């Protein structure tokens, strides 16, 4: 008999009052997200903000230096590193990594500490790299 009563309640017509605390069918029960949380789409966790590491062009470093440095700092193979070297040479800057702030900042420090290019007599130091929020236009 209790089963028949439950079934008839869940099949109630729209606009008919329900018993106190009773939810319409399909709206969840215990453990279902609240209406406010569903509406905002928030799960309580903010997505991690991403940052770009950009390598800047100069005339003090050879392609070989850039390929070697990107392999050493970021683990890129010669083909990928050469493509990035070509882009930085032709466009003046290139995104070499996107990730968490701490990670790209550490790679920026490694690039700045890499040293001068021994192949270029006028090279006095490392290449320059900057960190920007990934949402910033490049």
pLDDT, tens digit (0-9, with 9 covering 90-100), for 69-120? 999 999 999 999 999 999 999 999 999 999 999 999 999 999 999 999 999 9
User: Which CATH number covers residue 111?
Assistant: 3.30.1390
Two structure tokens written together for 96? 């070499």
Whether residue 30 is contained in a domain is answered as no
Determine the distance from the C-alpha atom of residue 12 to the mean position of all C-alpha atoms in its chain, rounded to a whole number.
48
- Whether the pLDDT of residue 60 is over 60: the answer is yes
Task: Give the whole-angstrom CA distance, residue 57 versus residue 138.
Answer: 14
Whether residue 116 is contained in a domain is answered as yes
Whether residue 14 is contained in a domain is answered as no
Whether residue 35 is contained in a domain is answered as no
Whether residue 115 is contained in a domain is answered as yes
Whether residue 95 is contained in a domain is answered as yes
The total of structural domains in the chain comes to 1
Least Cα distance to 126 among 52, 66, 53 occurs for: 66
Domain span at residue 88 reads 56-133
Q: What pTM value is reported for the model?
A: 0.65
Task: Give the whole-angstrom CA distance, residue 87 versus residue 33.
Answer: 48
């Amino acid at each position: 008999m209790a089963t028949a009563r439950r079934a008839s309640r869940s099949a109630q017509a729209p606009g008919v009052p329900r018993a106190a605390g009773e939810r319409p069918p399909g709206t969840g029960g215990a453990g279902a997200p609240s209406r406010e949380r569903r509406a905002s789409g928030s799960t309580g966790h903010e997505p991690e903000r991403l940052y770009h590491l950009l390598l800047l062009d100069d005339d003090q470093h050879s392609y070989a230096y850039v390929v070697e440095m990107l392999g050493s700092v970021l683990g890129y193979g010669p083909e990928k590193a050469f493509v990035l070297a070509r882009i930085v040479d032709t466009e003046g800057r290139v995104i070499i990594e996107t990730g968490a702030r701490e990670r790209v900042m550490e790679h920026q420090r490694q690039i700045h500490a890499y040293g001068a290019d021994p192949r270029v007599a006028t090279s006095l130091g490392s290449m320059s790299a900057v960190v920007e929020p990934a949402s910033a236009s490049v």
